[in-house]
Amino acid sequence: MSVKKYFAGEYDVAVIGGGHAGIEAALASARLGVKTIMFTVSLDWIGNMPCNPSIGGTAKGHLVRELDALGGEMGRAADKFTLQSRMLNLGKGPAVHSLRAQIDRRAYSGYMKHTVEKQENLDVKQCEIVELFREETGLWHCVSSLGAEFVSRAVIIATGTFMDGRIYVGEVNYASGPDGSFATIGLSDCLEKLGVPLRRFKTGTPARVARSSIDFSQLEVQEGDERTVPFSYSTKADPENKVVCHISYTNDETKRVILANLDRSPLYQGEIEGVGPRYCPSIEDKIVRFADKPRHQFFIEPCGENTEEMYLQGLSSSLPEEVQIELYKTIPCLKDVKIMRNAYAIEYTCVDPIFLTATLEMKGLEGLYGAGQFNGSSGYEEAAVQGLVAGINAALKIKGEKPLVLSRSSSYIGTLIDDLVTKGCMDPYRMMTSRSEYRLLLRQDNADERLMPIGHALGLVSDTDYEDFLLRREQKEKEIQRINNTFLPPSDDLNALLEAQGTAKMSTGLRLSDLIKRPQLSYDMLAPFDSRRPQLPQNVRDKVETEVKYEGYITRQQAQVNEMLRLEKKIIPVDINYDEVYGLRLEAVEKLKKIRPANIGQASRISGVSPADVSVLLIFLSR
């Protein structure tokens, strides 16, 4: 039955979706002074965490720090509701140190809901957008299932896993969004009519089980860090560890139950068409792909302070519910387990990200942007940073200002977006430190130096936070200068320390910086011998040590960045005819015509474009 439409309002920017991408997009747009509306299928699910209630992790912690430096909200919210904080990869170099925090799921969601509700220039509306089209004038129309028609100059699609969402549990499957919410139907048909290339991806989540049904005596305890640090530069108090997490393992009996029931898995029966995440497979996928492994690790983590739900990270599944119960009970700590929410797989519609530009605007569809899992990524953090960039660029377009395009050398955000729009993805994209060729420069500890000037210039970082940043940077620079000009004379006590740490003793005076560069020594370790050392905040001391210790490596990587920036400055005309570029291979012509790179640097990163092709392009452009 057709629904009569009515005019419901006019806005500058409309955001479809109230998840992590939608929130950051809507807040950024509104905070930049343009009239914004955010649509969500349920006000109660704004900022929901349908998978693991945690923020950060390897490379993901970098993204949250970068988002905060640009003026995003996720880091501040995570700090307020941290249950346990841990810095990952401390046994490795500082480039891969990554903050991860277990979060109070419902408190986080409530905070985000209230934040968007209070935001000036932002309206929040519970409705399902089922129709999207553009006038000849360029204005976009979003129509709800109840006939409300909203007109805007730009639209950001941040539908997450809701678009044509379908839940799979064994032989049972049905239309649904995550966590028992309903799917959005109809929007994908409109996008196809607009020429947007769509695809199906899938993801999954483990069961939530009752705390009282777990035998904690069978588990390894995983404590939080003794010294915690916040995500946000504006958070003044370090987060408090309020809970412990636990570790356990599957066994041969778990494997037997899964293999005996693979014929009931929709994943292995071909019922699920969508491509799943490579780096977060289901437990049945792990058992099949890594058949030689005798066991698989998983984590038991709380969903909040005021709930008895516990999350089984690492045990996602789409097997029938009774099989889930059977396989969980093969693990000693879960022999009496009571499932509160069963595990499931969810299939959803998303865009081929190659259809997007570096601003996250769709090619040939001016004013239409994509963000988050709709763009083919996975993870809350990847979604949030894309939402921020899409929201900023939509607002800047409305204001007639230059768009924000972050380079790979500036940030993990730039790396993520460049990977998506230049290389595309065949499965849900997850950020990892190994994806960046500049990771020694893109540490999470220096995200403020890389991006906060941009956030402040945009108007998303407050003057107070920016002044704090300027003070930290000045303190760091002065201290590095002092260290480079400070000489320590040899002494019995200092040589005793050097000998105890397994490094050569001193016979003559040495610069303090040269001593810090020794792998066995640290800035704080040498404090007793440095009488003129100033009192500095811990985050400044950490930066000082990293930049002094890795000075040579940082200098070499900066030279690589400078060379790449040279290529990024060589702009490729938007109307170039690649068929007329003599010497390009046919594969390169095909890829270049499809992706339409903005510059030589981006062209060089396209799969199928060789260094020889890049040389041909450079010669052609020089003519």
The H helix count followed by the E strand count for the chain is: 19, 22
Is 0.85 topped by the overall pTM? yes
Per residue in 189-213, pLDDT (tens digit) is: 999 999 999 999 999 899 999 999 9
In this prediction, residue 401 carries a pLDDT of: 97
Per residue in 324-337, pLDDT (tens digit) is: 999 999 999 999 99
In the predicted model, is pLDDT for residue 104 greater than 90? yes
- Contacting residues for 345 by C-beta, under 8 A, at least 6 apart: 167, 168, 169, 202, 203, 204, 266, 267, 272, 276, 282, 316, 317, 318
In this prediction, residue 96 carries a pLDDT of: 93
Per residue in 247-280, pLDDT (tens digit) is: 999 999 999 999 999 999 987 777 777 676 676 7
Length of the chain: 623
Q: Among residues of the chain, what percentage have pLDDT more than 90? A: 86
User: Per the structure block, which two tokens stand in for 148?
Assistant: 């409300």
Q: Among residues of the chain, what percentage have pLDDT more than 70? A: 99
Alpha helices in 264-354 (DSSP H): 283-289, 321-328
- First vs last C-alpha separation in the chain: 61
Sorted by where each begins, the domain ranges of the chain are 6-204+348-457, 208-344, 487-556, 569-622
In this prediction, residue 114 carries a pLDDT of: 98
In the predicted model, is pLDDT for residue 438 greater than 80? yes
CA pair distance 228, 79, nearest whole angstrom:
11
| Range in 60-64, 142-146, 470-474, 590-594 the model is least confident about | 590-594
Mean pLDDT across the chain, nearest whole number? 94
Q: What is the CATH number of domain 487-556?
A: 1.10.10.1800
Instruction: Classify domain 6-204+348-457 at the CATH superfamily level.
Output: FAD/NAD(P)-binding domain (3.50.50.60)
Over 544-595, what HEC string results? HHHHHHCHHHHHHHHHHHHHHHHHHCCECCCCCCHHHCCCCCHHHHHHHHHH
Residue from 50, 32, 44, 8 nearest 390 by CA: 32
Same fold, 6-204+348-457 and 569-622: no
In the CATH hierarchy, which top-level class contains the domain 208-344?
mainly beta
**Amino acid letter for position 170:** G
Per residue in 371-384, pLDDT (tens digit) is: 999 999 999 999 99
User: Per the structure block, which two tokens stand in for 343?
Assistant: 């595990």
In this prediction, residue 180 carries a pLDDT of: 86
Distances (CA, A) of 135 to 117, 142, 186, 366, 479: 30, 11, 19, 12, 59
In the predicted model, is pLDDT for residue 101 greater than 70? yes
Assign 9 a pLDDT band (cuts: 50, 70, 90): very high
In this prediction, residue 22 carries a pLDDT of: 98
Hunting for tokens 């894309």 — which residue is that?
Answer: 386
In this prediction, residue 355 carries a pLDDT of: 96
Torsion of CA 103, 109, 115, 116, to 10 degrees: 140
Per residue in 584-623, pLDDT (tens digit) is: 999 999 999 988 998 998 999 998 898 899 999 988 988 7
Sign of the CA dihedral 345, 346, 352, 357? negative
Q: What is the CATH number of domain 569-622?
A: 1.10.150.570
In this prediction, residue 279 carries a pLDDT of: 63
